[in-house]
Copies of this chain bind each other. A is one copy, B any other.
Amino acid sequence: SCFLALGISVPDPRKREELIKLEASMRIGGHLRLSPEEQQVDAQLRKLMQEEMARTDFPPALHFFKARPLIRRSPIYSLLQKMPKGAALHVHDFAMVDVEWLVRNVTYRSHCYMCFTDNHSVRFSFSSGLPKPRLNCSAWTLLEQLRAQTVNVTDLDNGIMSKLTLWTEEDPEIVYPSQDVVWERFEQAFLATFGLVTYAPVFKDYVREGLSQFYRDNVMYVEVRALLPETYELDGSTNSKEWTVKTFQETTRQFVEEHPDFFGARVIATFHRGANVSLVTLAVQEAMKLQAEFPETMAGFDLVGREDTGSPLWLFREALSLPAAQGFNLPYFFHAGETDHEGTEVDQNMLDALLFNTSRIGHGFALLRHPLAKKLSRMNGVAIEVCPISNQVLKLVKDLRNHPAAVLMSEGHPLVISSDDPSMFGASGLSDDFYEAFVGFGGLGNNLGSLKELAMNSIRYSSLPPNLQEKCMSMWQTKWNSFVTENLQGTQAEL
């Protein structure tokens, strides 16, 4: 009997308190000892959680597009915004900056052309003259001229904005009835963004604005999954991938100089999993080159794009074995298990990611259904990057209380919370996803310790080498202490 192992010969109700405590200690943050100050903030948080759970319109049960206004008014959200959340470890370039900035800032720059695609999306190009015609797209129109001829420019701008994000005020269940539809719209929005962000002068500003938005949300370090595209200039000439990494590196350094309490950013080079084996082989080789050239900025390599329609990792086994075969260390950070098709080839991606020694697993939504992969991930400290809002918007789960990470949190599995593509989902920084994770994945089971451990995990499972991790953690600890003290003063002021 398992009760026997717990020192009880038969089930014994007198052991109840002890067992409840034992179970609570298993969950994320459950083993942390909170200081008296932290306990006071925690008591306040518990009251807020009780109010939150008594709501009939419980936000984590709703689609984020409906829940957002409720979340943003929640006092728990305000607290989470102020909280130093550590690092964002799973965020994609081109979905880091809110679309309002893209439209109000970027599309208002000179020489910005737009065309309408046959499938109701748009494309952009900055060009000194008229860009050459694009397949399946209308004639190019200079936005400056279009706006001059338009009566209601706000409507026009809102229309453009809606092409750059999945966010909608309409009923998302109706607009996006299936995974196929939502992924198609998702990819179109990426393509629309592409022409804006790969314009070299915009790229610099974009990176800076991305860091800035995370910084304002009290995130101190970011690892960006980046396609590292070539950028282009007004005359149509292009800059290499090296230019892109270098620009990312320099922009980050400057941002850190101006914001000494921001720790920095690194890049995980990504490539599309829909590509064929020879292209992926080239991409791996290119990533090795960049890794060697920019060891401080480059964190490693990943494959991106919809898993269900892409090739399984196993198809790329030779390409992925190249670095190890050459004795070269190219860390992997594979997206894997972002699927609900059980037992398919793609469903083995998590095990394969582990076999290729992945440093973390992006999403791992299907991990629970793979007890061995789960065990390997836990024992080897391969953290799962959980992106709750992304999984909900991309229709893997409806009520976030049923998200598998609720289970992973209850078991103290190594995991971090991230936001994947915040601009695509109408989310901002990490706070919306932290809200969903904190309130939705555990409810009253969570406490301040859960949040503390989530933040610490984001540094512990980052790609930073030990000495930098230590430095980052100590910077975070200082921030955390201030956060606790400030909210303690808040509690006392209310008395």
Contacts and interface: CB of A to CB of B under 8 A. Distances in A.
Contact of A445 (B369, B401, B404): B369
A1, A56, A407: residue with the most chain B Cβ atoms closer than 10 Å: A407
Interface string A442-473: 11111000000000000000000000000000
A379 interface: yes
A13 B355 contact: yes
A410 to B, nearest CB: 5
A22 B376 CA distance: 13
A488 interface: no
A230 B344 CA distance: 53
B445 A16 contact: no
Interface in A164-179: 178
A380 interface: yes
Please tell me the size bucket of the interface on A.
Answer: 35 or more
Interface string A367-395: 01111110110111000000000000000
Contact of A371 (B314, B347, B411, B442): B411
Interface string A300-321: 0000000000000010010001
Interface in A1-52: 1-3, 5, 10-13, 15-16, 19-20, 22-23, 26-27
Nearest to A8: B355
Nearest to A57: B178
Contacts of A184: none
A368 B356 CA distance: 29
Contacts of A296: none
A30 to B, nearest CB: 10
Contacts of A351: 16, 19-20, 23
Contacts of A444: 342-344, 347
Interface in A130-185: 178, 180
A340 B398 CA distance: 13
A275 to B, nearest CB: 20
A342 B437 CA distance: 13
A354 B3 CA distance: 10
B445 A343 contact: yes
Nearest to A370: B23
A102 interface: no
Nearest to A410: B369
Contacts of A277: none
Contact of A442 (B5, B343, B354, B373): B343
A331 to B, nearest CB: 13
Interface string A104-133: 000000000000000000000000000000
Interface of A: 1-3, 5, 10-13, 15-16, 19-20, 22-23, 26-27, 53, 56, 61, 178, 180, 314, 317, 321, 340-344, 347-348, 351-352, 354-357, 368-373, 375-376, 378-380, 396-399, 401-402, 404, 406-407, 410-411, 442-446
16 contacts: A1-B380, A3-B376, A3-B380, A11-B354, A11-B380, A13-B352, A19-B355, A26-B371, A61-B340, A340-B399, A342-B401, A342-B443, A368-B406, A369-B442, A371-B411, A397-B402
Given A19-B372, A344-B444, 6 more contacts: A1-B380, A11-B357, A13-B317, A16-B314, A341-B443, A347-B444
